[in-house]
Amino acid sequence: MMKVIVAVAMAMVGVSLAFPYQPAPYQQKPLMPYHFEYGVQDPYSGNNFGRHEKSDGNKVYGSYSVDLPDGRKQTVNYKADQYNGFVADVTYSGQPYHPVH
């Protein structure tokens, strides 16, 4: 029984060495450069938000903002790449207010 286990293990090692790891095809191709943006401002509903993003094919840079219910504006500036991942800087502008009931 032990000889069979050793033989199977050696066969598995041989197969894994015969077919070395290959990254998925999407990991081998560089990204295409792009740019997009949009914005929404609707006085009836109070929605006010927007986003823009661009890529040079290696890194992604962008920003989005939204008016919060307490009167402040939240802005997120970000960048992302395959080495550092997603890095965001979140800022708030304006003074919060809370109505008294």
36-79 confidence digits (pLDDT tens):
999 999 889 888 899 999 999 889 999 999 998 888 999 999 99
**pLDDT of 13 higher than 70:** no
Domain count across the chain:
1
Look at residue 100 in the predicted model and tell me its pLDDT. 81
Residue 45 lies in a domain: yes
Residue 17 lies in a domain: no
What average pLDDT does the chain have? Answer: 80
Residue 68 lies in a domain: yes
Distant-in-sequence, close-in-space partners of 41: CB < 8 Å, separation ≥ 6: 47, 48
Query: Whole-prediction pTM value?
Result: 0.64
Residue 6 lies in a domain: no
Residue 20 lies in a domain: no
Helix (H, G, I), strand (E, B) or coil at 94: coil
Q: Give residue 86's domain range.
A: 29-93
- Residue labelled with tokens 């989005």: 64
DSSP H/E element including 25: helix 25-28
Residue 44 lies in a domain: yes
Residue 21 lies in a domain: no
Residue 10 lies in a domain: no
